[in-house]
């Protein structure tokens, strides 16, 4: 992909914080993430202190991330069809209740490794159910030109929390014990809920015409399956997440090698967060000078260096290189998140973000489990070394599997130029399926390029809710071609026409129609009772 920043107006990395709603929610999310990282360190150190095996310790990452495999897509649908603000409020409240219950169990000295993993899994569920909504509200809070900066600041809420949370957790663990760490996490969710209650979200267009859950889920799957730009972003995220998960899962075992206490382990994790904060300042400079593909490739190499440092180097040398790994982490996540947000249209934003979470966090969960097994059998050093080698290969793969041209730059504006069909009866919104047929008269000698252009039209129809797309050529009239596709219901067709077709879709259709004489004639056919 070409340099996304070339020729653009320079936006301060901190510009979104000048917007009150973004600022309040950003600090609330930062506090919640600090609490979450404190809980993660508390859980991991509890298992290290209990002399658990490498596979069990790595399961903390798996337990917290595995819910993304099960619930990410449903969470994205819920975020698109429900009020995101209310979803986030209730998610924060439920998270606070679960974290408070964990605090009570730990304070009563009733905690064991498996009950700890169960509570971690429950907190992972609530995190998964709210993550798409957190991502989807970011573009609502800032103007388009600040989306890249808001994405980077969103990374700070995670990675800055990674700098503060682990170090703070290490000190609190030494002074007060694990129950206090878990209790502060519960408090952080309460603060987030209060901030969300304070936020007065503007009225959203289309809330009175919400999609049904099943139809929305299917539409989201069709969109991802037909969106090549998004699929490539997902592939790059998975390629990075699998080897990168080794460092996060096995870093507690590095603390054993270095004979560290909980405060020392907190510093190791905190170094990654410090690197992420540094990355906030350096990344805009790098993206102005280099393409996004170069940034994610270099980030993979730097993360490999940090992974090797955790495997072989003494404490202070590892600490320095883990800072570079933290910079690389946020470099990758910021590029991929910004590319995704700038590519997804509004109607499927949460479902697209949920798919990204499913792929990235799901790969991290599976990777953490597998790297734990590798460490159990071959040792931590061997596992981290293998992961570093894979990261170098991931960096090299950008030559063959780069982010595609157009990523983050396509016109996502909803096109409102489609005429209302003139039907002889008034269909019910649930009537369907509906067969749509477009009749094209193609100019002489233009059939071949027209058919080529219609391949992009087919992808557009599928992205916006259509299925069973076909193109037919007449056996009697050489210039006559028929396009057909189906939509599940009349309501889905109207959504396709009024809420889903973007400026890029309009361009695709216009390119195909350049080969035609006149406008196509569109007809709509409804399933009759005799069809069942």
Residue 453 counted as domain residue? yes
User: Are residues 145 and 256 both part of a single domain?
Assistant: yes
494 to 390, 436, 491, 507: CA distances (angstroms): 47, 12, 5, 20
Q: Which of 349, 384, 399 is the last residue of a domain?
A: 399
- Name the token pair of 452: 């080529």
Residue 204 counted as domain residue? no
Q: Pick from 27, 278, 331: which is nearest to 157 by CA? A: 27
User: Are residues 189 and 116 both part of a single domain?
Assistant: yes
Report how many domains make up the chain. 2
User: Are residues 91 and 34 both part of a single domain?
Assistant: yes
CATH number of the domain within which 335 lies: 1.20.1250.20
The burial class, CB within 10 Å (0-12 / 13-18 / 19+), for 12 is: exposed
User: Are residues 390 and 445 both part of a single domain?
Assistant: no
Residue 45 counted as domain residue? yes
Residue 219 counted as domain residue? no
DSSP 439-505: EEEBPTT-HHHHHHHHHHHHHHHHHTT-EEEEEEE-SS-TTEEEEEEEES-HHHHHHIIIII-BHHH
Q: Pick from 525, 311, 515, 496: which is nearest to 415 by CA? A: 496
User: Are residues 46 and 131 both part of a single domain?
Assistant: yes
> Which pLDDT score, from 0 to 100, does residue 411 have?
67
User: Are residues 121 and 185 both part of a single domain?
Assistant: yes
Residue 387 counted as domain residue? yes
User: Are residues 41 and 170 both part of a single domain?
Assistant: yes
Residue 493 counted as domain residue? yes
User: Are residues 376 and 492 both part of a single domain?
Assistant: no
Q: Which residues of 316-331 are buried (b: 16+ CB within 10 A; e: fewer)?
A: eebbebbbbbbbbbbb
Residue 513 counted as domain residue? yes
CATH number of the domain within which 450 lies: 3.30.70.100
User: Are residues 473 and 352 both part of a single domain?
Assistant: no
CB 186 within 8 A of CB 56: no
Q: Which of 376, 399, 422 is the last residue of a domain?
A: 399
User: Are residues 122 and 236 both part of a single domain?
Assistant: yes
User: Are residues 246 and 391 both part of a single domain?
Assistant: yes
Q: Which of 374, 399, 424 is the last residue of a domain?
A: 399
Residue 462 counted as domain residue? yes
Q: Domain limits at 496?
A: 434-531
User: Are residues 134 and 280 both part of a single domain?
Assistant: yes
Low-confidence ranges of the chain (pLDDT < 70): 1-13, 51-52, 155, 159, 202-211, 406-412, 414-419, 529-532
| Strand partners for 174 | none
């Amino acid at each position: 992909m070409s340099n996304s920043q070339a020729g653009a107006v320079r936006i301060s990395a901190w510009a979104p914080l000048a917007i009150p709603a973004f600022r309040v929610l950003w600090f609330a999310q930062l506090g919640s993430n600090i609490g979450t990282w404190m809980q993660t360190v508390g859980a991991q150190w509890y298992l290290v202190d209990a002399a658990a095996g490498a596979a069990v310790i790595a399961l903390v990452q798996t337990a917290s991330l595995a819910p993304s495999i099960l619930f990410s897509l449903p969470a994205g649908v819920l975020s698109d069809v429900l009020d995101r603000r209310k979803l986030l409020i209730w998610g924060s409240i439920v998270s606070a209740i679960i974290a408070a219950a964990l605090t009570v169990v730990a304070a009563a000295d009733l905690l064991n490794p498996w009950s700890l993993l169960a509570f971690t899994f429950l907190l992972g569920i609530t995190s998964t159910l709210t993550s798409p909504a957190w991502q989807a509200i970011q573009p609502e809070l800032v103007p388009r030109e600040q989306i890249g900066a808001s994405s980077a600041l969103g990374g700070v809420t995670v990675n800055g929390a990674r700098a503060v949370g682990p170090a703070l957790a290490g000190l609190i663990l030494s002074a007060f014990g694990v129950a206090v760490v878990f209790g502060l996490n519960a408090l952080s969710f309460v603060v987030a809920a209060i901030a969300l209650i304070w936020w007065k979200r503007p009225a959203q267009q289309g809330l009175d015409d919400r999609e049904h859950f099943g139809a929305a889920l299917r539409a989201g799957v069709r969109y991802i399956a037909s969106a090549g730009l998004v699929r490539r972003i997902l592939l790059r995220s998975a390629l990075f997440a699998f080897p990168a998960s080794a460092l996060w899962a096995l870093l507690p075992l590095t603390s054993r090698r270095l004979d560290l206490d909980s405060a020392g382990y907190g510093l190791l994790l905190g170094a990654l967060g410090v690197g992420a904060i540094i990355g906030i300042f350096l990344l805009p400079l790098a993206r102005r000078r280099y393409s996004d593909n170069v940034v994610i490739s270099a980030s993979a190499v730097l993360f490999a260096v940090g992974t090797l440092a955790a495997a072989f180097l003494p404490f202070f040398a590892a600490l320095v290189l883990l800072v570079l790994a933290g910079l690389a982490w946020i470099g990758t996540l910021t590029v991929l998140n910004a590319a995704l947000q700038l590519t997804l249209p509004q109607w499927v934003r949460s479902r697209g973000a949920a798919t990204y979470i499913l792929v990235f966090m799901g790969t991290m969960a599976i990777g953490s489990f597998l790297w734990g097994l590798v460490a159990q059998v071959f040792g931590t050093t061997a596992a981290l070394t293998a992961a570093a080698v894979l990261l170098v290969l991931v960096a090299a793969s950008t030559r063959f599997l780069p982010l595609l041209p157009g990523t983050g730059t396509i016109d996502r504006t909803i096109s409102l130029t489609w005429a209302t069909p003139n039907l002889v009866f008034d269909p019910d919104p649930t009537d369907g399926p509906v067969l749509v047929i477009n009749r094209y008269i193609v100019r002489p000698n233009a059939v071949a390029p027209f058919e080529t252009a219609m391949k992009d039209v087919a992808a557009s129809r599928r992205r916006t809710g259509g299925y069973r797309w076909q193109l037919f050529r007449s056996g009697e009239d050489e210039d006559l071609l028929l396009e057909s596709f189906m939509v599940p219901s009349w309501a889905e067709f109207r959504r396709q026409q009024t809420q889903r077709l973007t400026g890029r879709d309009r361009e695709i259709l216009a390119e195909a129609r350049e080969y035609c004489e006149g406008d196509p004639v569109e007809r709509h056919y409804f399933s009759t009772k005799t069809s069942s």
